[in-house]
Amino acid sequence: MPGFGTIVDAVCIIIGGLIGLIIGKRFSSRFQETLLIACGLSILFIGVSGTISQMLVLTDDGFSTAGSVLLVTSLTLGGLIGEGLDIERHMTDFGEWLKKKTGSDNDNCFVNGFVSASLVVSIGAMAVLGPINEGLYGDSSVLYAKSVLDLILVLLMTLSHGKGCIFSFIPVVVIQALVTILAGAIRPIMTAEAIASLTMVGSVLIASLGINMVFDRHIRVSNLFPSVIIAIIWAFVGA
């Protein structure tokens, strides 16, 4: 069962999506296009800043980079695993099912909105550390902070992608509930190095979503999702 913090997170996602849906209907297609770019740029630079914060290391001689091998290896192996499992197709199929069940057959943005928003709110250290802290110590503070951030992000994404974004609460509940249940087993793996690796690789995936939105590309970010798990394992084994 999901903890209270995860339930609050899900409710905030729904509220943010509903607000975005109500506001978005007041804008013409020209305004919605600008909002799409604004949202994409925000997500892109959130991802870039997260990656740089982990890769740049301050030394006596100035800045240097770290984690390049980890990043390349995680993305490559994770991408191969994701393509083999065809995660994107499964998420898209689920999105199509939701689209039909919610009577949104005429909403061409529904599936893309669901997949994109699901990845934005599911990738990151807070989505792992929050449920672990709640499951082991009853501390929901990380998830409360994540709830506020998710509300804002989903609100912005709903303005341009429509109501499909609202249903991103489903994978959030499933993933965070699973982490809460397995908190005791996962906690020893989440060393400081593993958290840093998760943040770095997860931020690249978030930046990739921003690239898709701003430059109208189709990076199969869902199929890169296993990269995050590879990064955690790599850091834990090497620690």
Q: Is 220 left (phi over 0), alpha (psi -120 to 50) or beta?
A: beta
Average the pLDDT over 101-117 and give the result: 91
State mean pLDDT over 187-196: 87
Dist CA 85 CA 36 (whole Å): 30
Q: What is the pTM of this model?
A: 0.86
How high is the pLDDT of residue 93?
A: 96
Whether the per-residue pLDDT at 63 is higher than 90: the answer is no
DSSP class of residue 63 equals: E
Residue 57 burial (C-beta neighbours within 10 Å; 0-12, 13-18, 19+)? exposed
192, 229, 198, 207: which is closest to 49 by C-alpha? 207
Is 57's pLDDT higher than 80?
no
Write down the pLDDT at residue 124. Answer: 80
pLDDT-based confidence at 3, cuts 50/70/90?
A: confident
Query: Which residue has 């593993």 as its token pair?
Result: 194
Reported as a single tens digit per residue, the pLDDT across 70-98 is 999 999 999 999 999 999 999 999 999 99
Structure tokens at 217: 């590309």
pLDDT score recorded for residue 76: 96
Return d(Cα 160, Cα 153) in angstroms, integer: 11
Give residue 125's pLDDT band: very low, low, confident or very high (50, 70, 90). Answer: confident
Does the pLDDT value for residue 239 go beyond 70?
no
Mean pLDDT of the chain: 89
Measured CA to CA, the distance from residue 137 to residue 118 in angstroms comes to: 27
| pLDDT tens string 144-189 | 999 999 999 999 899 888 899 999 999 999 999 999 998 888 888 8
By C-alpha distance, which of 136, 124, 145, 134 is closest to 195?
Answer: 124
What tens digit of pLDDT does each residue of 13-39 get?
999 999 999 988 777 778 878 888 888
> What is the pLDDT, as a whole number, of residue 82?
95
Phi-psi region of 36 (alpha: psi -120 to 50; beta: other; left: phi over 0): alpha
Q: What is the pLDDT of residue 1?
A: 65
More confident residue, 106 or 166: 166
Q: Tell me what pLDDT residue 54 has.
A: 87
